[in-house]
Amino acid sequence: MKFKFYVLTSENLEALQRHTSVEYSNIPKDQIEVVINTLNKDYQKEAEDYCKSERIVYHVSSSNGTPARGKNSVFDIFLASDNKYCVLIDGDDFLTRHGVWMYQHLAGLETPPDAVCLVQQMSFRNYENGVALIQPFTGDYEDLLSVDYYDMFKNTSGLSHEKALYFESLHLKYYKGQQKYSEGNEIHCRVTWFSREAAKFRFDESLRIGEDTLQMLRLKHEAFKGRLSFYSTDERPATYIYDERTYGIVMRESRVKQDFNWMDDYSVALEKMEKQGRLHEHTLLPELKINYPENYAYDELAKDTSYVHTLEGCEVSFPKNATEESLKAAYVYLKDLDFQQVA
């Protein structure tokens, strides 16, 4: 099956280099294409030189400074190719080697899905005492809707009374909308896998933040109308790492999470979809299930985010999205291996 990993890059060469590094994703160079979408001509040349030196296929696309334009340019390049499926990776983020295996596996299925989005997503975030692996998009809506946002913005952040009231209203409206239309306790579900049909649904370039969330909800509508096969997959263990250690578009646009005007633009776009009947309240996509080999083992980073099943009273560390059959086969394999080691 023809598919490629498409890496979108705009400013971070070190992050770009991780995708083929043996210490990170280790994506085969014949399976990756880099899309350089930047307003920085110096970085463009730097990224081009790197791709040439590594013999990686690359494309330069026109940028307007928005993430949506960059992602749409990836779709344009993908649809102009003869590839049937693509994995979209933001250049500052990266796949685990487990993720590379899973998407290669999907490409080999007789009938791959049109789209796959992530739940229980993982992120690297800097703290005073070091880097932590967290789940930034999985939350408790009861807690999120009970926060005193006015006090947080007025007294903690030192904003004016009017600005604190405004940001409070934006947060409450945003979380109420996501609670209704997203996946369970997920605030945002990144879509990573696209068929040619799914890639026809473009990102909204009027939004600087939230364009990917809105596009996911549009794909969800198409799935519920029976026009796309769209699945969610549990990120335990992680296939995709959202790297918050880099100073990306979200941090810049929110002024390091001090400006939330983007929520207003997002809510207006969401209300438009609501009026068009393109949203589905309190619904869930079907869960992706993978047939893993009985002796399947994943990389160290994936181990840190693994899921523990309970089978016949025993704890088995194996992917959450494993089929019941492959989980049972792995349990038998591990039990036999344990007996052999004891013997």
Q: Measure the CA–CA gap between 200 and 72, rounded to whole angstroms.
A: 9
Percent of the chain with pLDDT over 90: 85
Percent of the chain with pLDDT over 70: 95
pLDDT digits (tens, 9 = 90+) for 60-100: 999 999 999 999 999 999 999 999 999 999 989 999 999 99
Q: Do residues 239 and 192 lie in contact, with contact meaning Cβ atoms separated by under 8 Å?
A: yes
Q: Provide the CA 1 distance to its chain's centre, in angstroms.
A: 23
Tell me phi and psi for residue 130, to 5 degrees: 130, -170
Give the confidence band of 202 by pLDDT, cuts at 50, 70, 90: very high
CATH match of 3-137+186-275 with 3.90.550.10: yes
pLDDT digits (tens, 9 = 90+) for 266-312: 999 999 999 999 999 999 999 999 999 999 988 777 778 889 999 98
pLDDT at 342 over 60: no
Residue 249 confidence (pLDDT)? 65
Domain ranges of the chain: 3-137+186-275, 139-185, 300-342
Total-model pTM: 0.94
Mean pLDDT for the chain overall: 93
Give the confidence band of 343 by pLDDT, cuts at 50, 70, 90: very low
Q: Measure the CA–CA gap between 44 and 50, rounded to whole angstroms.
A: 10
DSSP result, 233-285: EE-SS-SEEEETTS--HHHHHTTTTT--HHHHHHHHHHHHHHHTT---TT--P
